[in-house]
């Protein structure tokens, strides 16, 4: 099947709307929806171009969660990072995205992914040993779904969770781009080279707001240890040149420093800028910290906005970045 209509124009229009920096949060799942909406409003008021929400086996259903947050805001783009293809059938995914795209034109990005064995098993399914084939068939079924609802203009952008070359290629062919997670700058560089200039490239970047190296890396390892236990992330990092020994035990200092930005504000901002210079259209920042309620989440966003404002003059992000 050929690529979805208007891919290049949708991707570039979405990139322009997003700007350089957004926010990414698991924390919203821990809050009542009214409080999660307060956080979304704060993200919008602070000037972030987007807010991305997760869909784990224990989290809120991603599309209805996005609808709640979109209703609370007026400009902010909501992205799903990532809506699991095991959580709903292809027609339901297509219908949900179409509904949100119609209700909130230009403000919803559907990020979908094939997930991984552990999360799929917790949903009661058996993970496929051919994820690329499974994803391709799912996209075929989405695009062929006999929906009677109006087609939004513009249609919502669709991005795939993609790490390795074949899934990146599929994203370039059958979606508007890629939302990558738990990746270093080198992956962003390689992904842009694989995708070419047209498709969206939206990497997530974990951030620890801490200057002391020992404290920062210890907190970062509460994040990295979780993902380094999963084969898909380990295999991707191994392909980027990290050894098996470096990926054990929460990751070596080199691994942690490649995946989590920490230190002085300008050091964190420089890592954001490195992703942008490597070809990212939009970098979404996830603060790694203990849960601290609504005020804590808003405080993290406020601090992030100040950090991003420290990007060096002339960088892509400082030219159009978040308000501090």
**For 36-54, what is each residue's pLDDT tens digit?**
999 999 999 999 999 999 9
Say if CB 141 and CB 90 are below 8 A apart: yes
What is residue 311's predicted lDDT score, i.e. its pLDDT? 53
Question: Can you give the three-state secondary structure of 253-268, one letter per residue?
Answer: HHHHHHHEEECCHHHH
Q: Given a cut of 60, is residue 276 above it in pLDDT? A: yes
Q: What length is written for the chain?
A: 324
Distance, in Å, from the CA atom of 73 to the CA atom of 57, rounded to the nearest integer, reads: 26
What is residue 312's predicted lDDT score, i.e. its pLDDT? 41
Residue 30 DSSP code:
G
What is residue 313's predicted lDDT score, i.e. its pLDDT? 42
Say if CB 121 and CB 87 are below 8 A apart: no
Please give the CATH topology (third level) of the domain spanning 7-215+266-317.
TIM Barrel (3.20.20)
Average pLDDT rounded to a whole number, residues 70-79: 98
Burial of 3 from C-beta contacts in 10 A (0-12 / 13-18 / 19+): middle
4: nearest Cα among 118, 116, 103, 139? 139
Residue 8: pLDDT band with limits 50, 70, 90: confident
Contacts of 209 (CB under 8 A, 6+ apart): 262, 268, 287, 289, 300, 303, 304, 307
What is residue 247's predicted lDDT score, i.e. its pLDDT? 98
pTM for this structure?
A: 0.93
Q: Is 24 helix (H, G, I), strand (E, B) or coil?
A: strand
Residue 13 DSSP code:
H
Residue 294: pLDDT band with limits 50, 70, 90: very high
């Amino acid at each position: 099947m050929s690529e979805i209509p208007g891919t290049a124009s949708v991707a570039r229009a979405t990139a322009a709307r997003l700007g350089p920096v957004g926010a990414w949060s698991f924390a919203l799942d821990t809050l009542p929806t009214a409080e999660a909406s307060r956080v979304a409003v704060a993200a919008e008021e602070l000037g972030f171009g987007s807010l991305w929400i997760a869909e784990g086996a224990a989290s809120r259903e991603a599309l209805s969660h996005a609808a709640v947050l979109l209703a609370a805001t007026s400009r902010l783009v909501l992205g799903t990072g990532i809506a699991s293809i095991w959580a709903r059938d292809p027609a339901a995914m297509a219908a949900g995205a179409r509904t949100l795209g119609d209700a909130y034109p230009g403000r919803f990005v559907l990020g979908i992914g094939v997930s991984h064995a552990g999360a799929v098993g917790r949903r009661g399914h058996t993970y496929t040993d051919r994820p690329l084939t499974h994803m391709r068939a799912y996209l075929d079924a989405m695009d062929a779904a006999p929906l009677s609802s109006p087609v939004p203009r513009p249609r919502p952008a669709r991005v795939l969770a993609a790490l390795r070359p074949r899934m990146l290629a599929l994203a370039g062919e059958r979606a508007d781009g890629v939302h990558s997670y738990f990746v270093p700058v080198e992956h962003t560089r390689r992904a842009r080279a694989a995708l070419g200039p047209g498709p969206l490239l939206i990497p997530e970047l974990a951030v620890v707001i801490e200057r002391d190296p020992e404290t920062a890396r210890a907190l970062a390892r509460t994040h990295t240890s979780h993902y380094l236990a999963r084969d898909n992330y380990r295999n991707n990092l191994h392909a980027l040149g990290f050894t098996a020994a470096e990926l054990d035990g929460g990751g070596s200092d080199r691994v942690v420093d490649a995946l989590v930005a920490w230190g002085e504000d300008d050091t964190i901002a420089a890592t954001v800028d490195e992703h942008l210079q490597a070809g990212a259209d939009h970098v979404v920042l996830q603060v790694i910290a203990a849960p601290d309620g609504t005020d804590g989440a808003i405080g993290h966003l406020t601090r992030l906005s100040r950090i991003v404002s420290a990007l060096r003059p002339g960088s892509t992000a400082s030219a159009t970045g978040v308000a501090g």
